[in-house]
Amino acid sequence: MIVFATNNAHKLDEVRQILGNSMEVLSLKDIGCNVDIPETADTFEGNAWQKARYVKEHFGYDCMADDSGLEVDALGGEPGVRSARYAATADGQGHDSEANMDLLLTKMQNITDRRARFRTALALIYNGDEQLFNGVVEGHILTERHGMGGFGYDPIFQPSGYDLSFAEMTAEQKNAISHRGRAIQQLVQYLNSNK
């Protein structure tokens, strides 16, 4: 049994699907953790470890935790760890995907180098061992939204080698090549050979 430090149903499904019946995966809600676990580090790795260690220290369970975001080369790696709250203002407005995409598209208006990548750090504390898995998908930022699926920046991100944005792909297509999918596949491989 392992805790995934998230209440995101989509992420839970993804991990449960890949692990199959081989291991039970519990959410934060399942273990009675209803607080917003601090994510104050300035790297994806730092935030993933912060969440995994919080669960281990406060609840005693083995745990996995992820942190992801979008890095745009021409913007020096922005929005990075601030991906979820990129357009948020001090009064809490603009904390949503539409505002985040609008801000990014505006900043990219006159920029021709549109290279970007999604990155996931996935921290695992299991049987007294600590492991970190990294997943990356390279691509570029489109000039306008394409597609209705997915979440976050999916409509404006096109992975290298594909003619579709993430929002135009099926969940299966996206999971097979996405940053999170790749990190999760490595973690599941590790768990399956260390059960």
Question: Which residues are known catalytic residues?
Answer: 67
Helix 179-193 with 9-19: angle, nearest 10 deg: 40
Per CB under 6 A, contacts with ligand IMP among 101-130 are 118
Q: Which is nearer to ligand IMP, 13 or 21 (CB)?
A: 13
- Does position 132 interact with ligand IMP (CB under 6 A)? The reply is no
- Does position 71 interact with ligand IMP (CB under 6 A)? The reply is no
- Does position 84 interact with ligand IMP (CB under 6 A)? The reply is yes
Among 14, 62, 71, 154, binds ligand IMP (CB under 6 A): 154
- Does position 4 interact with ligand IMP (CB under 6 A)? The reply is no
Among 14, 18, 83, 101, binds ligand IMP (CB under 6 A): 83
Look at strands 2-4 and 25-26 and give their pairing: parallel
Q: Which is nearer to ligand IMP, 22 or 115 (CB)?
A: 115
Q: Which is nearer to ligand IMP, 66 or 78 (CB)?
A: 66
AA identity, residue 91: D
On whether the CB atoms of residues 89 and 106 are closer than 8 A, the answer is: no
**In the complex, minimum distance from the CB of residue 69 to ligand IMP, in angstroms, rounded to a whole number:** 4
Q: Which is nearer to ligand IMP, 98 or 129 (CB)?
A: 98
Instruction: Count other C-beta atoms under 10 Å from residue 89's C-beta.
Output: 10
**Burial degree of 165 (CB within 10 A; 0-12, 13-18, 19+):** buried
**Burial degree of 166 (CB within 10 A; 0-12, 13-18, 19+):** buried
Bridge partners (DSSP) of residue 131 are 124
